[in-house]
Amino acid sequence: MLEMEKDKAIGVFDSGIGGLTVVREIMRNIPDERIIYFGDTARLPYGNKSRETIIRFSRQILHFLQTRDVKALVIACNTASALALETIQKEVDIPIIGVVKPGAKVACKTTRNNRIGVIATKATISSGLYTDFIHQIRPEAEVIGKACPLFVPLVEEGWRKDTVTREVAARYLEELKDKDIDTLILGCTHYPLLRSLIGDIMGDQVTLVNPAYETALQLKELLQEHGIASDTKPQGENPYEFYVSDAAESFRDFANAILPIDIDRAKKINIEEY
């Protein structure tokens, strides 16, 4: 039975394209695994939606991925990890992880002065989930959150290296620079794509934590714990499948710009049917 489980794919979902940073880290760190990715490009951004809406969206996506018979699920969206993970975890019997806990853990290990910054969407910041997780591990830590809502549209517009993006980033991060943080969590899956810019503005004394990378490492452990880690290279011509709820072509172009492989297509589906 477990042998059959091992051959199944990992389901990964995000509100759009940001979760591809998590896919990239899974491909690099667990290359034997098959991946089925869903990007909810018709309904993004999630960062300004209510908890109820995020849970409903997450359930629909989970139902779709279950029809693809995935063996584990990664919620590669900080907002959905913050607002929906606990609810849908109780509704299925496959292992599920989000991106918040792995990032919080590493930030706690990394900080020397107990001053940790978090940049994320408004919903993730106001959920307080990063602060809660950090305080479970390091009660004495001071957590300074900053919502950076414009980062997502700037990345999706392809303006990662534009002077406008640098200007916006400098304004957002100015407040954190004054707070003497030594560790900064990139608390939205789009933000690792601005890593060098953010690092440049914050300076060498601040360590950036990329939850996408930490999530891939935790997923590797989780698969081994459950005895469902693949032990052979994925069979078949396409070990990676990509689905979206809208704008398949621009999704594919963006994916090909950041993934270590070229994908020839992303399939559009009607997620409201699930």
Distance CA 86, CA 91 (A): 9
**Could you give the C-alpha distances from 225 to 9, 116, 216, 229, 273, in angstroms and in order?**
17, 30, 14, 9, 34
Structure-token pair, residue 64: 């779709």
User: Where in the sequence numbering do the catalytic residues fall?
Assistant: 77, 188
Q: Is 128 annotated as a binding residue?
A: no
Distance CA 57, CA 239 (A): 26
Q: Is 63 annotated as a binding residue?
A: no
**Prior bond of 45 cis (ω within 30°):** yes
Of 117, 111, 118, 119, nearest in space to 137 by CA: 111
Residues in the chain: 274
Distance CA 88, CA 90 (A): 5
> Strand order in 183-186's β-sheet?
142-147, 115-120, 183-186, 207-209
Q: Is 46 annotated as a binding residue?
A: yes
Q: Is 79 annotated as a binding residue?
A: yes
Residue 166: CB atoms within 10 Å = 16
Q: Is 15 annotated as a binding residue?
A: yes
Of 161, 191, 203, nearest in space to 99 by CA: 191
The position carrying tokens 């997620």 is: 271
Q: Is 227 annotated as a binding residue?
A: no
User: Can you say which residues are annotated as belonging to the binding site for substrate?
Assistant: 14-15, 46-47, 78-79, 189-190
Q: Please enumerate, by residue number, every residue annotated as part of a binding site.
A: 14-15, 46-47, 78-79, 189-190
